[in-house]
Structure 1
Amino acid sequence: MRYKFTYCLMVLFMFFAAASFAQQEITIQGKVVDSLDGKGIPGVSVLVKGTTKGTQTDAEGNYRIVAPSNATLTFSFISYTRQEKPVGGQAIINVTLASANEQLDQVVVVGYGTQKRSQIVGSVSSVKSEEITKQPVLTAAQGLQGKASGVQINASGQPGSQPQVRIRGVGSVTGNQNPIYVVDGVITDDITNINNSDIESVEVLKDASAQAIYGSRAGNGVILVTTKSGKTGKMSINVNSYAGFRSMTNSVDLADGRSHAIYTNEAITNTNRLTGQSDPVVFDPNNLPTQTTDWMDEITRQGLVQNYDVSVSGGTEKTNYYFSGGYFGDQGILNGAKYDRITARINNEYKIAPYLSVGHNLTVTHNKNENKPTSTFSSAYRMSPSAPVRNADGSYGYLSALNVGNPVAAIDYTNDFSNSTRLQGNAYVNVRPLEGLTLRGDFNFDKTDGSGKIYAPVYSVFSAQQNNRSSLNVINQNRFYYIMNMQATYSKTFAEKHELNATAGYSFERDRADRSNLRISDVPNQRNLWYLNQGDPSTLVIVEPEANTANGGDLIRRVSYFGRMTYTYDNRYNISGSLRRDGSSSFPVNNKWGTFYSIGGSWNITNESFMKDQNLFDNLRLRVGYGQVGNDISIANNNLAVLQGLAQTGYYGFSYPDFPISLGQTFNQSRDALASWETTKGIDAGLEFGMLDGRLSGSFGYYNKLTEAYIPIRLPALAGDADNTLYSQGAKVRNKGFEAALNWEERKSDDFSYRLGFNVTFNKNIVDEVTGNFQLRGGSLGNGEITTLSKVGEPIGSFWVYETDGFDENGNFQYKDVNGDGQITESDRVFVGSYQPKTYFGFNAGVNYKKFDLSFDLYGNLGNKIFNGKRAVRFGNENVENEVFEGRWTPTNTNASHPAALNTIPRPSTYYVESGNFLRINNITLGYTFDNQKLAFLKDSKLRVFATAQNPFVFTSYSGYTPEIAGAASSNSPQGSIATSGSAINSGIELNVYPIYSTYMFGLNLTF
């Protein structure tokens, strides 16, 4: 009993001792500093949470307070985000407070310099490098998908390809619509050579007031890419790697062998009835095939994607250095294809004296591509499922009554290899002769040497798929671009309230490209003999101009003078203007110079005296701007009409050889003597804000821009003109809309934080004017019919089709007589929308809990249409989708949803126009960061492992492979129309698309 009593006393003593210890007060001291400059913040309130006990920091940001050892301290100060810190028995607690106005104080990269966000009068979206590097994509442009309002990305699944980027709609009708990229001062249209891990930041300049400093190059927008550099401090080594596989996201359910045979026989019978022919059926109705080959499965695979890179960086007071190397490999999903990229980069800066620094930046990239024909996707869709991949004797299978080649054979017989080496970099010197004045001179260059070989062996699958004589194409492409800039920047604050920032400069550019494509026959089928000297010399020819392999070259020179001035009063009112004068060799002598400009202002409302007592807004800013920019890419080098020789292959041989052909000369194309830049004028206004101690931030913007676009106008037949088109400024296209972005970020404790982000753009694209009665037609189906018409009052590339009105007594389409004249003609066509989305949006979210991190983002389009061209263009006896087979019209199924089987291409109609709305889950990433205190080998290192799913799901009603379609193939347009491959008037037509795929991967990030 005594022992029990003693035991109870001991327990009570320990309890009260613990309670006493928990309530024990200790002295805590520390320093509170600003997150931007690291300086101490005076006057910060330091309170013991739940009490009125507190103190304030002194002039240096130091504080001292007595509090219970298990208490929580709260640190708060006006214009800074509040923080809470548990004491946990600590005697020293240092705190870093972030400005609630940090978004406004943030330094943003702009054209030819940097500015505080509070001083920017244009629309600029910034994307963190972490948002890009977590995705298994080749370029930073693909990583922008859904991350910035006003930016739309259309990416092909083909390895090594660049995406199409559209900023605030499409303005150019037939020309290049992609923005320019400025990588550390080097202007380029291709950033596939940049390792994403080397990127520090990406800024998208979206309106004319932000873009005008780049003048004639900025008509489609500007994307600034700043790469990483060394920072003063000890050496840091970063290792990043991931590996995974890609697979098709969506498939199309095609008819099996038996269903295809039934449909083909019906199509022949119905076509005979319609045309009066008497073609026999292909398949024996009493012995229908039972075999089904899944051709899409035969040509695709789960392709490997992998990336490995390492960087070393650091610096001293005199030198900063950054070195990196990386490898990226992508097989894609098409059998046999492969893309490899090796990169190496150096970025060093040397501080020679307090007023003098020099630096250099060099990226070396080597690419290797093994290409396979993407047309095999179309062949796999159309090929008869009853045909085997290979016959019993090993030969390739085919269906003689079908004019579609064996897609597996097409892959096996294609030998298409290319490689290139690219050097991109700059060297610069900065001199500061006076306080506030910086003089900078730099030389930037981009040099590419590329070559390729395409070998076609002798083969014969059947009459429509054979090659009777081997051939070898040898392609060489070389380009050297350089730009020299000289600029002066002056920054000065007068009387504490007046701040002036001015930049003025001069630049000179030279861009030279040479291309050649030679073909020779009878080259042996041995890869080590694939050289021109191994073929028949008499067959050596210069290949006529084709897609990207045309013989010849380009030489473009530009001279520019530019300037920008920004005045800020009392950190409340900003006014900024820029002016650029460009001269280009791409235009006629009398029109080589153009002037581009912008003017804008902003008002930092929260810095007004009447806002000091409010606690709702941390920052509130209003901005407005207007400007004019240009685009010289659309008609570059189209200013000269030159004589060129015509080969015999360019003639129609009328009665040859009775009338011998003599080689002659002809004009290659008529030219407009008044040709100049495409110009875009626009106004932009926006409201930016931060609220609730920096947790909520966002922006709302309005824009309205008008592009005066060049179009190739068809001329009457002119003797000696081989083309009969004239590029002229003949259309005006308007894009106007509203965009919004909202972000919420909150740190609940040291162990838990989360973020949410949403952006949306509402864009209205409309053709304002077309010269005369010229019609902008496009989207040919190969039978003389076109599918789009860009008419005044309608969007570019609007689908212009016949409206179906049920089926006739034979199951064929009936069309509405819209104008009531008793005939079905072009006058009965109707507009049913375009591929230009009315709304596009993105959403992202992230959670950090202890050592785990989870992120998620999605994007989508609303209000656009797609023309299902692959379903519409069905030449004789090709396969069909199972839905079409099951729902086709037959005498016993007159209440059908699809027409009777037929072997003709019907008129373009509303039947083939589908909704392009979609929602795609873009990225899901789960990561875990190891505790370096528990893993001895880490010590001062940081190790994070992660798993990622890229594009795992898409939600859409579209029946094709993907609702994201970059552009149609080349068109065979009727007289009086135009249709340039990939142009806006061909967008949204699915004919032969490399499907977007899903990627699943694992990776790690290691820093030490």
Structure 2
Amino acid sequence: MAVHKKWTAGWLFVALFLTLSFPATMFAATYADIVIKGKVVDETGEPMQAVSVAIKGTPRGTTTQQDGSFTITANENATLVFSFIGYANQEVPVGGQATLSITMKKNASQLDQVVVVGYGTQRRSQVVGSVSSVKGVEITKQPVLTAAQGLQAKTPGVQVTASGSPGAQPQLRIRGVSSVTGDANPIYVVDNVITTDITNINSSDIESIEVLKDASSQAIYGSRAGNGVVLVTTKKGKSGKMKISLDAYSGFRTPTSKVKMADGKAYAQYSNEANIRANASPIFNLDTINTNTDWFDQITRNGIIQNYNINLSGGTEKTTYFFSAGYFKDNGIVKGNDYQRGVVRINNEYRPASWIKFGHNLNLSLAKSNNKNNEFGNAYRMAPSTPVKYADGSWGFEKNLSVANPVADLNYTNDFLNTLRLQGNVFADVSPIKGLNWHSSFNFDQRQNYATNYTPSYKIWSGQKNDTSILKKGNGKNFYYVIDNNLTYNHTFENKHEVSVTVGYSAERSKGDTLNASVKGVPNKRNLWYLNQGDLANVEIYNYGLLIQRASAYGRLTYTYDRKYNLSGSIRRDGSSNFPSSEKWGTFYSAGASWIVTEEGFMQDQHVFDELKLRVGYGRVGNDNVSGLATLNSVSNTEYYYNFGGTPYAPLPGLTIDQIRDARATWEPTTGVDAGIEFTLLNRQLSGSVSYYNKLTSAYVNVTVPSTLGDADNTVYSRAADIRNKGVEINLNWNKKVNKDFSYFIGGNITFNKNNVEKVKGNLQLKGGSLGNGNIVTYTVVGKEIGSFWVYETDGIYQTQAEIDNSAHITGAAVGDFRYKDTNGDGSINDKDRVFKGSYQPKVFYGINAGFSYKKFDFSMDMYGNAGNKVFNGKKAVRLGNDNVEAKVATNRWTSTNTGTAIPRASNAIPTPSDYFVESGSFFRINNITLGYTVPVNSWAGINNLRIFATAQNPVIFKKYSGYTPELPGTAIASGIELNIYPVTTTYTAGFNLTF
């Protein structure tokens, strides 16, 4: 059942045409002004660059140049407002003066800073929830594809796990993992467009990012906010002369960590011994092993990274504009793998009268990916005694193991994906009376994907071949829109009672269509990679679609008394077509309060706190992006043997239910409380906050049902598990200006989080973490973290056959194998003896930021890490026979002459999942180091600022884990397992920022 009326894409293009049809010049100013020139300095007399100079009551303004100077045209009776972060705002009447000298004073109240919240803004003093802000300039210090990765180390309560794969979106977790089987990532709201992916947004176009971390701040987004909300605000133009900025950097990527593997002879000796121990013949003649191939080096390279951006901004009283274009290219560390993206953004605003404003934010991106198979697993396991190619030019192979030649596999992989994406909105703001604003917007995100995958016919050996070429083509398109209308009323009564009310309605629709087809026998020439070039008699076609509709009504009320006491509450009623009609609608809400203690009379004589704010909030949010919640039972065609009087036991066609669905499927709700303290001390040089949170999610999980219901696997998704995350966040920042030449800062944040499955309704069956060899290694149960590692506990190594005979042991145990503990004492080793050995979720994660500026030099660095978690070395636990092993395994394994080791004997048996493979996931990483120099350009015509810089990203990691990386993203029940991870990379770049 639809929850709102259908709109078509035609409305979008009509709106865009009307908006873009208004030329900027039609709104040119016609009033009498004077030209005002001036200079802005700080308290030491040092010129201040980038100070905002705005004409009060209008959108017009400019910014100061490198020498602190500014020029602006304004009415002789106007008032200019000067503002800069960390300094008190100043309002200066022009009074007919043509020249002004302004001195900015430090210590602007942080509580008066404006913070972006859902569907509006508030002073920080009015914010009752937990909201972290990061400026765009902090994001652009890092050579990253997406701003989501730029949040690393900067925000308490937020974990960012990035992949080294070009074009990949990093994984974000806000205050722990709450959803077990659903999408645990937050939503992103880019200029009111809700999305799950911001790889199409140029980081240089971002003004600020706000992370809504608790239910009281998230509830205005209702059913979409269960895993957090990240608000992205892009840059806008300011009135004044045109400003042009050029930014560029280039550099290279290299693998951060390697795993030292056995060389050719050590590997051959190990494999021979494993075969002999299995009563088989050795497979290598050690005297003929002269090859030592480093397969990791053979598939990797130094990948070049490039980024170029240009933006133009400016405007008049009636119109402002912001235009940018950017190009990003990342040649990954895997040979042949690359990603490139071009982005164009146009953000314009038009104000034909003081009471109306309209405009658009448009972002067009084109991304091209040359994808390659992840060969790190093959490179880890492939025999080093085998060359990449033999002397005759044919590909090398080892017939005694099932691993593909990874270099050949890369060579035969042709996987291309092109993505065209148009995202943005058109909007109008009307203020018919003072304090009342009506905002209407049409927000959209249109994507089109074009995929080509071609595999030629080839044969390396019987275990690595493709008899007939195959071409796969895929086209996908999706159009998503949100129509939003809201009214906001702000008014102050008797100079003490501030009231802000927002009410609104939004309608969402997402419609997608995907068509995939494959055909064999296409020639190996790229210009012939079309379906009609193959065997059309055997074309396989898949076509499927998606339609999701939502409707929402929402409201928020904020009341402030005497700038000291703040109350705020919000409510949202959401409807979704994802659920049956009886469960289609849900209500989400929040309430909170804050108290500005330092505004009280009894605090005026104290000299400890410059600002002190207490806040508390409670709310309920939801998540409707959960897998397995289709409301209709799945039915399949089958044939069963029944005797209905005909041929005995002849197969007859029929229908069977192959999975039972929950007829009461609905939202996955999260309720939570948050309380915090925010403060500044020591003349506002030290600022910080402490927050406590406690949130509970009623999560969907697999539970068993009676087999009489006909369910094929006897499980059903049901909202049957309560998951709690609770913790404490601490954030401290110190900023000090020593003199006009030298200033520095240092800050840090730390989060303590405890994740726990509190209770389960029914019989929970949530084992996961498959290794692909028949073993699973995680189990989610009451009293433990989601995705806890569930393994056998080792108890040394068998030294004699007598030890084996006199103890409980697994079938086939031999001298030199691990002894496993019979933890339940029943005399046998089975799943009942498995124990829990921690989980991937850290108990502590933190970030550190520091830097200084000295004259024209600036330096900054940030670091992050976590502690108290575990990871599972899955690649080490997937030995399928004669695979390569790590160097320390080959050289320090158990033998009759090396019995004191903790590494078992050489074996080709599938390893038993045990605590031997569970390692510490704690690490400390230097995330980014940047050194810059601002070139004096006073005499350079037209140039306002030129800064050159060099950056090292991820140059160093300190870890105990023996694998490639301890940062191992994945689903809630399969995170922290290294199988075919794309390793994190180290990046070195140099570039410049140039402003005209």
TM-score, with length taken from structure 2: 0.87
Going from structure 1 to structure 2, the CA distance change for 1:30 and 1:778 (only over 3 Å counts) comes to closer
Aligned amino acid, residue 536 of structure 1: D
Q: Is the 8 A contact 1:746 1:754 kept in 2?
A: yes
State the distance in 2 between where 1:662 and 1:341 align: 55
Partner of 2:378, secondary structure, is helix
State the distance in 1 between where 2:628 and 2:399 align: 47
Aligned amino acid, residue 162 of structure 1: Q
Aligned runs of 1:39-188 on 2, under 5 Å? 94-101=102-109, 103-188=110-195
Deviations 1:416-457 (A, max 9, x none): 011010000101110101111101111000000111011010
Q: Is the 8 A contact 2:873 2:979 kept in 1?
A: yes
Going from structure 1 to structure 2, the CA distance change for 1:361 and 1:667 (only over 3 Å counts) comes to farther
Aligned runs of 1:757-772 on 2, under 5 Å? 757-772=747-762
Who is 1:207 aligned against? 214
State the distance in 2 between where 1:181 and 1:820 align: 51
State the distance in 1 between where 2:713 and 2:538 align: 28
Going from structure 1 to structure 2, the CA distance change for 1:668 and 1:419 (only over 3 Å counts) comes to farther
* Count of residue correspondences: 898
Who is 1:849 aligned against? 854
**Does residue 396 of the first structure (1) align with residue 399 of the second (2)?**
no
Partner of 2:431, secondary structure, is strand
Aligned amino acid, residue 433 of structure 1: P
State the distance in 2 between where 1:245 and 1:903 align: 39
**Among candidates 742, 745, 749, match of residue 755 of structure 1:** 745
Partner of 1:392, secondary structure, is coil
State the distance in 1 between where 2:421 and 2:721 align: 37
Pairwise CA distance, 1:476: 1.1
Q: Is the 8 A contact 1:35 1:96 kept in 2?
A: no
State the distance in 1 between where 2:497 and 2:253 align: 56
State the distance in 2 between where 1:162 and 1:29 align: 45
Q: Which moved more, 1:92-101 or 1:903-912?
A: 92-101
Who is 2:307 aligned against? 307
**Does residue 317 of the first structure (1) align with residue 317 of the second (2)?**
yes
Q: Which has the larger radius of gyration?
A: 1
Aligned amino acid, residue 568 of structure 1: T
**Does residue 793 of the first structure (1) align with residue 783 of the second (2)?**
yes
Partner of 1:675, secondary structure, is coil
Who is 2:552 aligned against? 560
State the distance in 2 between where 1:34 and 1:454 align: 49
**Among candidates 592, 596, 602, match of residue 600 of structure 1:** 592
Going from structure 1 to structure 2, the CA distance change for 1:242 and 1:627 (only over 3 Å counts) comes to same
Who is 2:11 aligned against? none
State the distance in 2 between where 1:418 and 1:780 align: 28
Aligned runs of 1:622-701 on 2, under 5 Å? 622-635=614-627, 638-641=630-633, 643=635, 667=657, 669-701=659-691
Aligned runs of 1:238-637 on 2, under 5 Å? 238-272=245-279, 279-285=280-286, 287-374=287-374, 376-542=375-541, 551-635=543-627
Partner of 1:702, secondary structure, is strand
Q: Unmatched 5+ residue regions in structure 1?
A: 1-27, 41-59, 63-77, 83-90, 273-278, 544-550, 652-657, 968-982
Who is 1:960 aligned against? 963
**Does residue 910 of the first structure (1) align with residue 915 of the second (2)?**
yes
**Does residue 897 of the first structure (1) align with residue 902 of the second (2)?**
yes
State the distance in 2 between where 1:397 and 1:716 align: 53
Going from structure 1 to structure 2, the CA distance change for 1:37 and 1:596 (only over 3 Å counts) comes to farther
Q: Is the 8 A contact 2:704 2:765 kept in 1?
A: no
Partner of 2:730, secondary structure, is strand
Going from structure 1 to structure 2, the CA distance change for 1:205 and 1:960 (only over 3 Å counts) comes to same
Aligned amino acid, residue 319 of structure 1: T
State the distance in 2 between where 1:583 and 1:171 align: 22
Aligned amino acid, residue 840 of structure 2: Y
Root-mean-square deviation (Å): 2.6
Q: Is the 8 A contact 1:835 1:988 kept in 2?
A: yes
Partner of 2:906, secondary structure, is coil
Pairwise CA distance, 1:516: 2.0
**Among candidates 981, 985, 988, match of residue 993 of structure 1:** 981
Pairwise CA distance, 1:937: 2.8
Going from structure 1 to structure 2, the CA distance change for 1:80 and 1:475 (only over 3 Å counts) comes to closer
Deviations 1:485-507 (A, max 9, x none): 01000100001111001100000
Partner of 1:118, secondary structure, is helix
**Among candidates 216, 234, 238, match of residue 231 of structure 1:** 238
Pairwise CA distance, 1:718: 7.1
State the distance in 2 between where 1:561 and 1:904 align: 60
Q: Is the 8 A contact 1:33 1:97 kept in 2?
A: no
Partner of 1:821, secondary structure, is coil
Q: Is the 8 A contact 1:31 1:94 kept in 2?
A: no
Going from structure 1 to structure 2, the CA distance change for 1:998 and 1:832 (only over 3 Å counts) comes to same
Aligned amino acid, residue 525 of structure 1: N
Pairwise CA distance, 1:288: 4.7
Pairwise CA distance, 1:109: 0.4
Partner of 2:973, secondary structure, is helix
Who is 2:873 aligned against? 868
Who is 2:951 aligned against? 948
Pairwise CA distance, 1:411: 0.1
**Does residue 191 of the first structure (1) align with residue 194 of the second (2)?**
no
Going from structure 1 to structure 2, the CA distance change for 1:437 and 1:668 (only over 3 Å counts) comes to farther
Pairwise CA distance, 1:226: 0.2
Partner of 1:297, secondary structure, is helix
State the distance in 2 between where 1:659 and 1:202 align: 67
Aligned amino acid, residue 299 of structure 1: I
Going from structure 1 to structure 2, the CA distance change for 1:821 and 1:700 (only over 3 Å counts) comes to same
Aligned amino acid, residue 132 of structure 2: S
Pairwise CA distance, 1:100: 3.8
State the distance in 2 between where 1:645 and 1:362 align: 48
Q: Is the 8 A contact 1:35 1:97 kept in 2?
A: no
Going from structure 1 to structure 2, the CA distance change for 1:32 and 1:616 (only over 3 Å counts) comes to farther
Going from structure 1 to structure 2, the CA distance change for 1:573 and 1:659 (only over 3 Å counts) comes to same
Q: Which moved more, 1:487-496 or 1:773-782?
A: 773-782
State the distance in 1 between where 2:737 and 2:609 align: 19
Q: Is the 8 A contact 1:742 1:757 kept in 2?
A: yes
TM-score, with length taken from structure 1: 0.86
State the distance in 2 between where 1:869 and 1:637 align: 30
Pairwise CA distance, 1:315: 1.4
Who is 2:804 aligned against? none
State the distance in 2 between where 1:34 and 1:959 align: 47
Who is 1:743 aligned against? 733
Aligned amino acid, residue 526 of structure 1: K
Aligned amino acid, residue 566 of structure 2: N
Q: Is the 8 A contact 1:739 1:762 kept in 2?
A: yes
Pairwise CA distance, 1:284: 2.2
Q: Which moved more, 1:30-39 or 1:994-1003?
A: 30-39
Going from structure 1 to structure 2, the CA distance change for 1:879 and 1:168 (only over 3 Å counts) comes to same
Who is 2:60 aligned against? none
Deviations 1:652-710 (A, max 9, x none): xxxxxx99999876656432110001010000000000111211100000000001001
Going from structure 1 to structure 2, the CA distance change for 1:683 and 1:694 (only over 3 Å counts) comes to same
Deviations 1:792-825 (A, max 9, x none): 1111111111110111131001011222222222
Q: Unmatched 5+ residue regions in structure 2?
A: 1-43, 57-77, 81-85, 91-98, 642-647, 801-814
Partner of 2:432, secondary structure, is strand
Pairwise CA distance, 1:363: 0.5
